[in-house]
């Protein structure tokens, strides 16, 4: 495409995209790691109860221990669900699409013509360091807020290069 189309919106549903990118947060805790952490936490919380086994105070403290362990379990599971977020970016010669997938919710999508899209990297003052957004003709969307600042910087550079090749 030598010139920009008259209309700034996405143009067509063409064949396969020229580039695809899937982004997701780092998953540091595996299932065996979760089980090991809960087991170790339960064991360490139970240590003070050894001297109180068979007493009324021991049973009361065990209730608090189990409540604390249940709270830790619930918090870790909620964190795992929140980390199932994913962003998919697809780039065609005549359009760019970002789909933001969150657990239990409908995906949020944004499309625009890559000719009009500008990559913005805000080093300071954004919600996160190196805040990355793509600005099209109608709105600005964030990308990769869950990535590290270095990853967002590298992604911004790669996106600028890819968009420049299309122009």
For residue 7, what pLDDT is reported? 52
Q: What is the dihedral of CA 81, 127, 141, 86, to 10 degrees?
A: -20
For residue 4, what pLDDT is reported? 53
Residue 8 included in any domain: no
Q: What sections of 110-148 are H helices per DSSP?
A: none
pLDDT by 10s per residue, the chain, length 167? 455 555 555 445 558 898 999 999 888 888 899 999 999 999 998 898 888 888 888 889 999 999 999 999 999 998 888 888 999 999 999 999 999 999 889 999 999 999 999 999 999 888 888 999 999 988 999 999 899 999 999 999 999 999 999 87
Residue 4 included in any domain: no
Residue 51 included in any domain: yes
Same domain, 116 and 65: no
Distances (CA, A) of 94 to 2, 17, 32, 143: 11, 10, 45, 20
For residue 161, what pLDDT is reported? 93
3 state DSSP class of 87: strand
For residue 8, what pLDDT is reported? 55
Same domain, 91 and 158: yes
For residue 1, what pLDDT is reported? 46
CATH number of the domain where residue 132 is located: 2.30.29.30
- The count of structural domains within the chain is 2
Domain coverage including residue 57: 31-82
């Amino acid at each position: 495409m030598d010139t920009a189309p008259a209309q700034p919106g996405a143009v067509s549903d063409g064949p396969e995209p020229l580039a695809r990118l899937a982004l997701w947060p780092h998953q540091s805790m595996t299932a065996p790691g979760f089980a090991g952490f809960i087991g170790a936490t339960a064991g360490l919380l139970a240590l003070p109860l050894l001297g109180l086994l068979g007493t009324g105070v021991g049973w009361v403290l065990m209730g608090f221990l189990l409540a604390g362990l249940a709270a830790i379990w619930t918090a870790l599971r909620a964190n795992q669900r929140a980390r199932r977020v994913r962003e998919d970016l697809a780039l065609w010669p005549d359009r760019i699409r970002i789909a933001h997938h969150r657990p239990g919710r409908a995906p949020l999508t944004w499309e625009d013509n890559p000719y009009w899209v500008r990559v913005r990297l805000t080093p300071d003052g954004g919600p996160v360091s190196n805040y990355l957004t793509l600005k099209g003709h109608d709105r600005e969307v964030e990308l990769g807020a869950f990535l590290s600042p270095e990853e967002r910087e590298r992604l911004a550079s790669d996106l600028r290069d890819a968009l420049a090749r299309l122009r």
